[in-house]
């Protein structure tokens, strides 16, 4: 579960870091409009988190569905990066990615704490948070390296498409890796 939490956080934040750049540099959005998908994604995360706490679906299923939903949202963001007229779909794709996080993030925490013995729950909680931070830093940093190596500041499209698809692959890998996890 600690690995799952890291994969979720790393993949999500590995794309989120470049959403405003893409919308402003490629599509000419103002800073406020370039940040709008981040707000919509947070609303998707909140709504899915609220919903998952009120259904009787096993948490292991919510984790798998969360990975797949996140992968779809991240892959969809690759459609936003080129200079064609699909920038308006950024909020839709980011809401989907946020919903994947909202479905799975709390479920991963509940499963991890459920798997830990009573005396190890503090350690498990700390491990989850360290995993979030390490994977986020590594995957956002990886995106930054790709951006620096493959893009010009005026046109980050090639690098951003690659980053988005790479992070979608991380989420898809998580879905495969945790396909057999049970409550």
Going by C-alpha positions, the residue among 177, 39, 11, 169 that lies closest to residue 105 is: 11
Give the number of domains in the chain. 1
Question: Residue 165 domain-assigned?
Answer: yes
Question: Residue 109 domain-assigned?
Answer: yes
Q: What's the pTM?
A: 0.95
User: Which uninterrupted H or E stretch holds 99?
Assistant: helix 90-115
Question: Residue 183 domain-assigned?
Answer: no
pLDDT score for 180: 83
Question: Residue 149 domain-assigned?
Answer: yes
Going by C-alpha positions, the residue among 9, 47, 42, 21 that lies closest to residue 130 is: 9
Residue 151 backbone phi and psi in degrees, to 5: -130, 155
pLDDT score for 151: 87
Question: Residue 18 domain-assigned?
Answer: yes
Structural domain harbouring 119: 2-177
- Per-residue pLDDT of 45-56, as tens digits, reads 999 999 999 999
Residues in Cβ contact with 136 at an 8 Å cutoff, skipping those fewer than 6 apart: 9, 10, 13, 14
Question: Residue 182 domain-assigned?
Answer: no
pLDDT score for 52: 96
Q: What is the CATH number of the domain that holds 118?
A: 1.20.1250.20
User: Which uninterrupted H or E stretch holds 135?
Assistant: helix 121-150
Q: Which residues of the chain have pLDDT under 50?
A: none
pLDDT score for 94: 98
pLDDT score for 8: 98
Distance CA 49, CA 67 (A): 14
Question: Residue 55 domain-assigned?
Answer: yes
Question: Residue 35 domain-assigned?
Answer: yes
């Amino acid at each position: 579960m600690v690995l799952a939490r890291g994969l979720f956080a790393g993949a999500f934040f590995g794309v989120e870091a470049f959403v405003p750049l893409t919308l402003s540099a490629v599509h000419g959005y103002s800073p406020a409009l370039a940040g709008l998908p981040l707000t919509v994604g947070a609303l998707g995360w909140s709504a899915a988190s609220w919903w998952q706490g009120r259904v009787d679906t096993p948490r292991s299923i919510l984790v798998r569905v969360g990975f797949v939903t996140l992968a779809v949202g991240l892959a969809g963001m690759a459609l936003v990066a080129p200079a064609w007229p699909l920038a308006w779909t950024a909020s839709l794709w980011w809401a989907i990615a946020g919903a994947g996080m909202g479905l799975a993030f709390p479920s991963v925490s509940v499963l991890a704490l459920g798997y830990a013995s009573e005396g190890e729950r503090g350690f498990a909680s700390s491990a989850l948070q360290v995993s979030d931070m390490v994977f986020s830093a590594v995957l956002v940093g990886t995106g930054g390296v790709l951006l620096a190596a493959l893009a010009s500041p005026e046109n980050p499209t090639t690098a951003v498409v690659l980053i988005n698809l790479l992070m979608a692959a991380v989420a898809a890998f998580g879905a495969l890796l945790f396909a057999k996890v049970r409550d």
